[in-house]
């Protein structure tokens, strides 16, 4: 009896992986040399000298200096590198001068177009009157500025003096013949002087007319001089934190008010006829001071010591008009 042969389905054979052959050192050297030659002769090859995407484009001049800020103010595409204060000469600590000089950081300038705070002496207005002369002596007067070598001064008539509001004002005086001078108001002419009258120092009068004349017709107007220096402040003798009087010296324009910072608010002080602003109860004495000219400009000084009878300078001055 013949047996039936049973066939098994054919199985798919898996291919055998070739056994990797060892690469010789000579082959590696050859391949490396070939790669170098290909890279070297590429048309867009760049020299390996630090060139990158931040390098100047073809045709531009100059060397990129990412550690420096551009003098033209352009923004660098790369973040600036931070510098340690110890390595930067500009970061060296400097001694503070806050105790030696008044602070000007709180100065505010709000200047209206018109002198809304002026009194009788208004900018741009021609005043008519007469000029007389007197012996100014050492230059001191009712404005209490003290002796001075400045001989181009004048005493304002009682009406226009306006309780010392005219003190420190500069006026341009013109005589009928065309001669003119600039004088600073440092004194008050008694009630015998009429409105519009100026009592000039003998030296100032002589610039306008022969002193023999004694009395001449004039016109005068307020002036905001170009070279006025800076403002100074002075506490009156006897001032303390219980009572004080303050004076402003060297202001370019006439003053409208003086205020002291007291209890979190600005407190205006009344003005005396001897040109001091008075705080009889001491409120604010020794603290921040704010002065305002007739144009509405305000200067704030914080740092003036309460030292009686000492002229303390600032770095501030009112704007010219």
Give me the helices (H) in 142-184, please: 158-161
| CA dist., res. 79 & res. 248, Å (int) | 51
3 state SS of 212: helix
Contact 102, 315 (CB under 8 A): yes
Pair 200, 131: CB distance under 8 Å: yes
Q: Would the pTM count as exceeding 0.85?
A: no
Q: Which residue has the higher pLDDT, 68 or 195?
A: 195
Q: What is the pLDDT of residues 160-207, one digit of tens each?
A: 999 999 999 999 999 998 999 999 999 999 878 999 999 999 999 999
What is the spatial distance between Cα 291 and Cα 305, in angstroms, rounded to a whole number?
Answer: 16
Classify 201 as helix, strand or coil: strand
Examine the pLDDT at 51 and tell me if it is beyond 60. no
Q: What is the mean pLDDT of the chain?
A: 76
Return d(Cα 130, Cα 153) in angstroms, integer: 15
- pLDDT digit string (tens) for 84-140? 333 333 333 333 333 334 444 345 555 554 567 999 999 999 999 999 999 999 999
162 contacts: CB under 8 Å, gap ≥ 6: 119, 120, 121
Per the CB < 8 A criterion, the answer to whether 103 and 241 are in contact is no
Query: How does pLDDT run across 1-49, given as a tens digit for each residue?
Result: 444 444 444 444 344 444 444 444 444 444 444 444 333 444 444 333 3
Model confidence at 252, pLDDT cuts 50, 70, 90, reads very high
Which ranges of 169-261 would DSSP assign to H, the alpha helix? 202-208
Pair of tokens at residue 61: 């001049």
* 3-state secondary structure at position 206: helix
Distance from C-alpha of 301 to C-alpha of 287, rounded to nearest angstrom: 9
pLDDT value, residue 107 = 52
Task: Give 34's Cβ-side CA count (13 Å radius).
Answer: 6
- How far apart, in whole angstroms, are the C-alpha atoms of residue 207 and residue 220? 15
């Amino acid at each position: 009896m013949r047996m039936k042969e049973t066939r098994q389905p054919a199985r798919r054979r898996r291919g055998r992986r070739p056994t990797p052959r060892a690469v010789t050192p000579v082959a590696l050297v050859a391949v490396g040399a070939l790669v170098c030659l290909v890279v070297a002769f590429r048309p867009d090859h760049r020299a390996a000298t630090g060139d990158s995407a931040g390098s100047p484009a073809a045709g531009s001049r100059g060397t990129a200096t990412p550690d420096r800020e551009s003098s033209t103010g352009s923004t660098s595409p790369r973040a600036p590198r931070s510098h340690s204060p110890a390595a930067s000469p500009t970061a060296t600590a400097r001694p503070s001068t806050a105790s030696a000089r008044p602070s000007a950081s709180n100065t505010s300038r709000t200047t209206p177009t018109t002198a809304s705070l002026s009194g009788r002496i208004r900018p741009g207005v021609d005043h008519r009157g007469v000029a007389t002369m007197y012996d100014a002596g050492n230059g001191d007067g009712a404005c209490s500025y003290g002796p001075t070598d400045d001989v181009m001064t004048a005493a304002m008539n009682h009406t226009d003096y306006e309780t010392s509001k005219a003190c420190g004002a500069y006026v341009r005086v013109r005589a009928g013949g065309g001669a003119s001078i600039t004088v600073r108001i440092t004194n008050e002419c008694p009630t015998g002087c009429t409105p519009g009258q100026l009592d000039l120092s003998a030296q100032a009068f002589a610039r306008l007319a022969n002193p023999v004349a004694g009395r001449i017709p004039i016109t005068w107007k307020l002036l905001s001089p170009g070279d006025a220096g800076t403002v100074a402040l002075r506490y009156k003798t006897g001032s303390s934190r219980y009572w004080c009087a303050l004076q402003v010296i060297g202001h370019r324009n006439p003053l409208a008010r003086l205020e002291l910072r007291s209890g979190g608010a600005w407190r205006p002080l009344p003005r005396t006829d001897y040109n001091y602003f008075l705080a009889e109860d001491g409120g604010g004495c020794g603290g921040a001071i704010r002065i305002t000219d007739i144009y509405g400009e305000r200067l704030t000084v914080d740092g003036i010591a309460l030292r009686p009878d000492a002229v303390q300078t600032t770095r501030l001055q009112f704007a010219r008009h």
